[in-house]
């Protein structure tokens, strides 16, 4: 029996990056031998075991063969005869197909170390094209390592293009797709993930609503970058630069979908795109079964982002409606995430990345003024039920008028 550290742990050590997850491969062992040494089985589809002390995962070396559509359409074969090289060749990228023993002696049959040095994301073998999930994984690695200068090898991009055209991407489950998408959006350069998906034709299949934004012009006075797709990438880039959470990044990606529905004769204007985009945002969220908080924020940002940009001009009554829509009294954090998503939208414009966004603090102040209206005096005056709600609304409106007056003085 031989045990090797494989995959990401080897790759990241060679890159000088922190190693978090460690995968182990066991060569020359049987299931019975693993059990006899105290390992606990966890894999339903293929032999994976938990170490009796560390709890880390150890997998028997295995080969795989395509047997159906999608990510799960494989049959696996594990036996003591399977070599380390045979196990590594089934992996996605050469930089993930290296192994090392306990002395850090490297096994690198597919030149992963060379590709690390050359900053290339390259597939290990033609079997890459058998797994559609790898399109998303490679795009995610491109987003992770773009800052180090990594790019996707042309021949790998071509295989990804073939996979995108084959119909295999449609076989991916919503859960598997969302896992990759959500992880990719939290990488250092999530805009690269979207760009790589577009380069290989996968964006058109997975998120046609986002793909449709490229080539759609906007007024140059507000959007020097003009192209709505490029603007979306820039907004996503800003959200990563400012270390925003997943909810905000997801909202940034989807906020302008309505512009993809604007008839060409109306370009570059996009009248009521906030409302026309809601059905598209909802469709994308449902397609990937995005978590509820991501769905809610994306819809709210899509509907109200132009309200935020015009915050200083809004009437007190419109301000109150906006605050009510977000339930700022019970869910202040959601309103804060809305504000920062809108700020990312404002900064995601060519040459305007550093400009100030006074609307953010103005809206925070408005929310504070409305929240500080006390309920107790109204209860003491005998208000209850619907009348209490109306009285509270009147007092909040009064507070917002006072806030506006003070802010403009």
171-213: pLDDT as tens digits: 999 999 999 999 999 999 999 999 999 999 999 999 999 999 9
Confidence of residue 241 (pLDDT cuts 50, 70, 90): very high
Number of Cβ within 10 Å of residue 189's Cβ equals: 19
- Domain range enclosing 18: 1-111
Last residue of a domain, one of 111, 128, 161: 111
CA 352 and chain centroid, separation: 24
Residue 251 domain flag: no
Q: Judge whether residue 70 has pLDDT over 60.
A: no
Last residue of a domain, one of 111, 146, 162: 111
C-alpha span between 400 and 146 (Å, rounded): 46
Number of Cβ within 10 Å of residue 339's Cβ equals: 23
Domain count of the chain? Answer: 2
DSSP state of 227: B
Cis peptide leading into residue 72 (ω within 30°): no
Q: Judge whether residue 67 has pLDDT over 70.
A: no
Residue 219 domain flag: no
Last residue of a domain, one of 111, 143, 169: 111
Q: Judge whether residue 73 has pLDDT over 80.
A: no
What is the pLDDT, as a whole number, of residue 144?
A: 97
Residue 225 domain flag: no
What is the pLDDT, as a whole number, of residue 75?
A: 64
Q: Judge whether 62 and 78 are in contact, CB under 8 Å.
A: yes
What residues have CB less than 8 Å from 8, skipping those under 6 apart? 19, 21, 23, 96
CA 39 and chain centroid, separation: 35
Q: What is the CATH number of the domain that holds 29?
A: 3.30.460.10
Q: Judge whether 273 and 306 are in contact, CB under 8 Å.
A: no
Confidence of residue 79 (pLDDT cuts 50, 70, 90): confident
Q: Judge whether 273 and 219 are in contact, CB under 8 Å.
A: no
Residue-wise pLDDT tens digits, 16-27: 999 988 999 999
Would you say the pTM of this structure is higher than 0.75?
A: yes
Q: Judge whether residue 43 has pLDDT over 80.
A: no
C-alpha span between 233 and 284 (Å, rounded): 17
Q: Which long-range contacts (CB under 8 A, 24 or more apart) does 346-352 make?
A: 346/309, 347/235, 347/238, 348/231, 348/232, 348/233, 348/234, 348/235, 348/236, 348/237, 348/238, 348/252, 349/222, 349/223, 349/224, 349/225, 349/231, 349/234, 350/223, 350/224, 350/225, 350/234, 351/224, 352/224
C-alpha span between 209 and 232 (Å, rounded): 12
Residue 202 domain flag: no
Residue 51 domain flag: yes
**Burial zone of 102 (CB within 10 Å; 0-12 exposed, 13-18 middle, 19+ buried):** exposed
Among 159, 327, 305, which Cα is nearest to 232's? 305
What is the pLDDT, as a whole number, of residue 310?
A: 97
Residue 329 domain flag: no
C-alpha neighbours within 13 Å on the C-beta side of residue 82: 20
Residue 390 domain flag: yes
Residue 81 domain flag: yes
Which whole number is the average pLDDT over 45-61?
A: 89
C-alpha span between 119 and 196 (Å, rounded): 16
């Amino acid at each position: 029996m031989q045990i090797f550290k494989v995959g990401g742990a080897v790759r990241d050590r060679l890159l000088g990056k922190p190693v978090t997850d460690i995968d182990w491969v066991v060569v020359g062992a049987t299931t019975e031998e693993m059990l006899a040494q105290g390992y606990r089985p966890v894999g339903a589809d293929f032999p994976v075991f938990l170490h009796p002390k560390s709890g880390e995962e150890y997998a028997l070396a295995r080969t795989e063969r395509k047997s159906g559509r999608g990510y799960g359409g494989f049959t696996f074969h594990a036996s003591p005869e399977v070599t380390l090289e045979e196990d590594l060749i089934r992996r996605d990228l050469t930089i993930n197909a290296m192994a090392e023993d306990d002395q850090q002696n490297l096994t690198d049959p597919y030149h992963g170390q060379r590709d690390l040095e050359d900053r290339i994301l390259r597939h290990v073998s033609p079997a890459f094209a058998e797994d559609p999930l790898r399109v998303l994984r490679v795009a995610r690695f491109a987003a992770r390592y773009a800052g180090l200068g990594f790019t996707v090898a042309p021949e790998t991009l071509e295989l990804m293009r073939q996979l995108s055209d084959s119909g295999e991407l449609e076989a991916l489950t919503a859960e598997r797709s969302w896992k990759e998408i959500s992880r990719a959006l939290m990488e250092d350069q999530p805009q690269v993930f979207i760009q790589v998906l577009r380069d290989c034709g996968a964006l058109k299949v997975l998120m046609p609503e986002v793909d449709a934004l490229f080539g759609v012009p906007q007024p140059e006075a507000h959007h020097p970058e003009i192209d709505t797709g490029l603007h979306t990438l820039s907004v996503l880039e800003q959200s990563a630069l400012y270390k925003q959470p997943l909810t905000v990044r997801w909202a940034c990606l989807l906020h302008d979908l309505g512009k993809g529905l604007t008839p060409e004769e109306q370009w570059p204007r996009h009248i009521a795109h906030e409302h026309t985009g809601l059905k598209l945002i909802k469709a994308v969220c449902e397609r990937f079964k995005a978590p509820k908080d991501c769905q809610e924020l994306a819809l709210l940002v899509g509907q109200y982002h132009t309200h935020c940009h015009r915050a200083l001009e809004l009437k007190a009554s419109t301000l109150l409606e906006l605050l009510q829509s977000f339930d700022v009294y019970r869910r202040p954090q959601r309103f804060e995430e809305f504000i920062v998503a809108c700020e990312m939208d404002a900064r995601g414009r060519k040459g305007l990345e550093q400009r100030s966004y006074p609307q953010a603090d103005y809206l925070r102040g408005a929310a504070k003024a409305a929240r500080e209206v006390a309920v107790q005096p109204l209860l003491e005056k005998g208000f209850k039920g619907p009348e209490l709600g109306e009285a509270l609304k009147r007092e909040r409106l009064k507070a917002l008028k006072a806030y506006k007056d003070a802010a403009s003085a």
